[in-house]
Amino acid sequence: MKISLLFCLIFYTATLLASNAKVLVYTPKLQKISQADTRIAIETILYKIAEEADFDSVKIEYSDQLSHAVSQYKQGVYEALHMNSLALMSIFPELKTQTAQYWNFSKVKGKRLRNFYILVRNDSKINSLASLQNRPIALTLLDSMQTLFLNHMMLKINHSSFENFCGNVIYNTKDATSILNLFFNKVDMAVVTQHSYNTAIELNPQLQKKLTILYRSETIYPAPSITLVGNKNRYFQQIFQQYSQDLVSNTFGRQLMMIYQSVDDINLTEEEMERLYEHYQDYMKLKHRYEP
């Protein structure tokens, strides 16, 4: 099971500070993946990191209550909070005054944020999102930013979320599978990152002859989850930033990044986070107007 590489980095930092640092992972109920299996996978990775770093133990705390996670982080009980990016947007104004760093892993070297493509087949005669009523679509499992992008577009154009407007939704673990679903006529639309699309057509140029990019998003979307580092413990901030930078240059870090198909880690600016929050606010206005 793949767990966000940011888990690995933040817990590695925690081992360096021994019991002086506390980290909270917000784990809401996961779609199609059990929390028990997720925790086992996370802890397996952490013990390996602790072994490599020659530390005795790692302390992890979990919460599936968003209000509890926010309250404890705001009070400085935890030095860092790892959470779903869409959930973060719902409480961003509450947390930004307590946050010094926003860490986000990237699959493209130097690319700070992601953008999405909405793909259709050339022979489908689909020329807008309005043509997708009751049609099957493909999305990537647990990518909350992909969901935000698509529902913002659907509400703006169709005055309805994709859950209520489209037909069957196939959730895949990888963008590449969604592209193949579309290519082989299993769905009529797929949402993928620009990077995934470019990689797919590089490997199989025939895809480009059969697929069309219907919409391109702005480049404003972070990874599906983000790690917030609080501003109360400056030593923790320095250590976390140091090992974040070292991760892409040492052998152990590169091996981890290869497993999770990431090549860079980015500390997003508050301005970048604010821009995403403005986009989220616009989405919520549309949602309240058309699906109150």
Flag whether 277 is in a domain: no
Average pLDDT over residues 61-84: 88
CA distances from 244 to 32, 140, 222 (A): 30, 27, 17
Q: What is the pTM of this model?
A: 0.84
Same-domain check for residues 197 and 53: no
pLDDT greater than 70 at residue 43: no
Tokens, residue 285:
């206005």
Give, rounded to a whole angstrom, the gap between the first and last alpha carbons of the chain: 36
pLDDT greater than 80 at residue 250: no
pLDDT greater than 50 at residue 1: no
Q: Among candidates 73, 77, 83, 72, which has minimal Cα distance to 6? A: 83
Decide: 21 and 30 in contact? Cβ < 8 Å: no
DSSP the chain: ----HHHHHHHHHHHHTGGG--EEEE-PPPTTS-HHHHHHHHHHHHHHHHHHHT-S----EEES-HHHHHHHHHTTS-SEEEEEHHHHHHTHHHHGGGEEEEEEEESSTT--SB-EEEEEEGGG---SGGGGTT--EEEETT-HHHHHHHHHHHHHHHSS-HHHHSS-EEEESSHHHHHHHHHTTS-SEEEEEHHHHHHHHHH-THHHHHEEEEEE--S-B--SEEEEEESS-HHHHHHHHHHHHHHTTSHHHHHHHHHTT--EEEEE-HHHHHHHHHHHHHHHHHHHHH--
Same-domain check for residues 121 and 216: yes
Flag whether 92 is in a domain: yes
Same-domain check for residues 61 and 147: no
Same-domain check for residues 100 and 235: yes
Flag whether 275 is in a domain: no
Which CATH number is 61's domain given?
3.40.190.10
Q: Tens of pLDDT along 191-235?
A: 999 999 999 999 999 999 999 999 999 999 998 888 898 998 887
pLDDT greater than 90 at residue 62: no
What was the pLDDT predicted at 18?
44
* φ, ψ at 56 (rounded to 5°): -80, -40
What was the pLDDT predicted at 64?
85
Same-domain check for residues 79 and 29: yes
Average pLDDT over residues 102-119: 88
Flag whether 30 is in a domain: yes
Average pLDDT over residues 30-56: 50
Range from 42-51, 80-89, 197-206, 238-247 carrying the lowest mean pLDDT: 42-51
Same-domain check for residues 99 and 143: no
Range from 11-15, 30-34, 103-107, 133-137 carrying the lowest mean pLDDT: 30-34
Same-domain check for residues 94 and 235: yes
DSSP-derived pairing of the beta strands 189-193 and 80-84: unpaired
What was the pLDDT predicted at 265?
72
Residue 67 structural domain: 5-107+223-268
Could you give the CA distance from residue 136 to residue 131 in angstroms, rounded to a whole number?
Answer: 11
